[in-house]
């Protein structure tokens, strides 16, 4: 799968910048995504298993969305 994270911390010099990483079954990587980051992924194989452990459980008032092709973010 391809994992993407976007810095949404307004005071950060990295605000609005994104980081992408291909997660492969052979190396079983783990990521920690800090608070105030957007997180998304796309499965790029026939199947995938994904486990997510959020720091805040079920907080709909904190949920936001970014369109994957938003030109302001520029995700490839």
Between residues 56 and 69, which one has the greater pLDDT? 69
For the segment 44-58, what is each residue's pLDDT rounded down to a tens digit?
999 888 888 877 777
DSSP 33: P
Report if pTM > 0.75: yes
Residue 19 token pair: 């980081």
The answer to whether residues 8 and 40 touch, using CB atoms and an 8 Å cutoff, is no
Instruction: State residue 4's pLDDT score.
Output: 95
Domain edges within the chain = 1-75
For the segment 3-41, what is each residue's pLDDT rounded down to a tens digit?
999 999 999 999 999 999 999 888 778 888 888 899 999
The answer to whether residues 75 and 16 touch, using CB atoms and an 8 Å cutoff, is no
């Amino acid at each position: 799968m391809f994992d993407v994270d976007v810095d949404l911390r307004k005071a950060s010099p990295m605000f609005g910048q994104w980081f992408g990483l291909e997660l492969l079954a052979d190396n079983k990587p783990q990521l920690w995504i800090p608070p105030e980051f957007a997180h998304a992924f796309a499965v790029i194989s026939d199947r995938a298993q994904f486990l997510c452990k959020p720091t805040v459980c079920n907080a709909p008032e904190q949920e936001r969305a970014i369109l994957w092709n938003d030109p302001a973010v520029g995700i490839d």
